[in-house]
Amino acid sequence: MTRSRMMLFTLLVAASTSSFAQGATGYVFERGYPTAQTTQAARNDADFQRAMTAYRFWYPTVSVEGIFNGNRELGIKDGESWGMAAAGPRQVGFTLNSDTPYASAVIDLSQGPVVIELPPGPYIGLVDDHNQGWVQDVGLPGPDAGKGGKHLVVPAGYKGKIPKGYHVGTSPSVKNLFAVRALPVGGDLPRALNALRAIRIYPLSSAASPVPLKLVDTTEQRMDSSSLRWEGNLQFWQVLQKIIDEERIVPQFLPMYGLLAELGIEKGKPFHPDARMKDILERAARAGRDQMLVSAFDSARPDRVNWPDRKWEWVGLTPGSAQFETPAGMDLESRDRWFAQAIVTSPAMFRRSAGASSLYWMAVRDGSGAFLDGGKHYKVTLPQPVPGKLFWSITIYDAETRSQVQTDQDKAALRSLFELKDVPTDAPLDLYVGPTAPAGKEGRWIKTTPGKGWFAYIRIYGPEAAAFDKSWKPGDFEPLK
């Protein structure tokens, strides 16, 4: 054997019998034990993975706290008042729309059940818990079916007597979100606002002589009811720690509380992450948010597409579910996709059948497949009539804030009850989006900002069969030269 071959043989033998081993992870072990460098790397990786999973799971919890916070910043106090608005671009919130006026309240069960009393009318509303888990529907999609009634939200484990005549929903959390909108039938917005004022919220304990929460109109005020300011930094975890401290433990979530405990977030204990953990948590918040946005705007799921030759997509991917459940488990992609761009859940929101309260389609790309660009001009053509018994709209959203585009036009929607109420319904309708209006088309145009991406929602209220059987099909956004 030559000397060079002997040296190579010796090196190979040494390598094969060495006490060091390196697995596919790149971690190095000595005699089966991790080296100091491997231990630190593995701990960092494990904590980052835990933080990523925790971020995506608890995102809806922090998001709903953003809704609460928006009201509180305007002086609307939990248990004393609640807010309403004919929403527009000045109200920042995930895919809020201008079609119907909204109202929202914190339902605080710390002192017992709370009554929500609706008169007869065209309301669409729900109660979700602090984790955006569905509790009950009210109004048209609820058990009162628009005929009015008393709804009762009770805390889990409640042992008190429940009087007859209430529609009851049980919540695992102390703080809950009541969100409701009144449909502006015939375009009568003042009447819809007055319908919201007619709703009464009060503790069951005072039902004999109730003093309802005061409703505050915030239509003209700037408001941020989103979690945007927290979602990509350490504040996400600080807000979550406060919620965990103040809320009840949800038994079904025990593994997820375990993840948080490994990250230093535990009920009843202070949260003081060191420099290493701060870095991990901040990186996980940014990465978790970005992964959710990919699910929202660039999903590869084939079932997101309704028409194979169109770019319009279903927003919700689990039709008929309350919490993204499927026979095989929870659809996590659908959950991420929804909460990255929207708020609240209910089975009524994801129904795909004629007679559902509403449906949503989203466009993030033009007909060629390119993402929609605020510096370009587009036309979209809708066959008429649009298959909705009530009304329909197209709303334009900023891709970064997932809220209505903000420009000096101060408008983000084209609505069949308002801007488009006089258009003929026997010919296709052309609508326009871009930084400047086409000549003579100002009333059918939404302004966008160069340098910003945007996406659109079509909403149809009271959708008819043609909205689901593909016999009606909107055009794509097509760039104008």
Q: In Å, how far from its chain's centre is CA 143?
A: 24
Entry pTM:
0.92
Q: Do residues 39 and 111 lie in contact, with contact meaning Cβ atoms separated by under 8 Å?
A: no
Same domain, 201 and 239: no
Please indicate, yes or no, if residue 44 is contained in any of the structural domains: no
CATH number of 390's domain: 2.60.120.600
Same domain, 385 and 258: no
Please indicate, yes or no, if residue 41 is contained in any of the structural domains: no
Same domain, 344 and 430: yes
Same domain, 117 and 89: yes
Please indicate, yes or no, if residue 124 is contained in any of the structural domains: yes
Strand partners for 20: 30
Same domain, 89 and 209: yes
Same domain, 365 and 235: no
**275, 295, 315: which is the final residue of a domain?**
295
Express each pLDDT in 115-126 by its tens digit.
999 999 999 999
CATH number of 146's domain: 2.60.40.1610
Express each pLDDT in 317-354 by its tens digit.
999 898 999 999 999 999 999 999 999 999 988 888 88
Please indicate, yes or no, if residue 45 is contained in any of the structural domains: no
Same domain, 125 and 184: yes
Please indicate, yes or no, if residue 311 is contained in any of the structural domains: yes
Percent of the chain residues topping a pLDDT of 70: 95
Express each pLDDT in 127-156 by its tens digit.
999 999 999 999 999 999 999 999 999 999
For 268, counting Cβ atoms within 10 Å of its Cβ (0-12 exposed, 13-18 middle, 19+ buried), the class is: exposed
CATH number of 262's domain: 1.10.3360.10
272 lies in which domain range? 50-61+230-295
pLDDT band at 24 (very low <50, low <70, confident <90, very high): low
Q: What is the mean pLDDT of residues 379-383?
A: 98
Q: Residue 275 is encoded by which pair of tokens?
A: 């420099």
Q: Do residues 463 and 356 lie in contact, with contact meaning Cβ atoms separated by under 8 Å?
A: yes
Q: Do residues 338 and 315 lie in contact, with contact meaning Cβ atoms separated by under 8 Å?
A: yes
Express each pLDDT in 154-179 by its tens digit.
999 999 999 999 999 999 999 999 99
**224, 256, 274: which is the final residue of a domain?**
224
Same domain, 363 and 391: yes
Same domain, 216 and 142: yes
Lowest mean pLDDT among 352-366, 405-419, 435-449: 352-366
> What is the spatial distance between Cα 85 and Cα 101, in angstroms, rounded to a whole number?
6
Please indicate, yes or no, if residue 188 is contained in any of the structural domains: yes
What b/e string do you get for 163-172 counting C-beta neighbours within 10 Å, with b at 16 or more? Answer: eeebbebbbb
Please indicate, yes or no, if residue 377 is contained in any of the structural domains: yes
> What is the spatial distance between Cα 409 and Cα 203, in angstroms, rounded to a whole number?
42
Same domain, 399 and 423: yes
Same domain, 454 and 415: yes
Please indicate, yes or no, if residue 69 is contained in any of the structural domains: no
Same domain, 105 and 211: yes
Domain count, the chain: 4
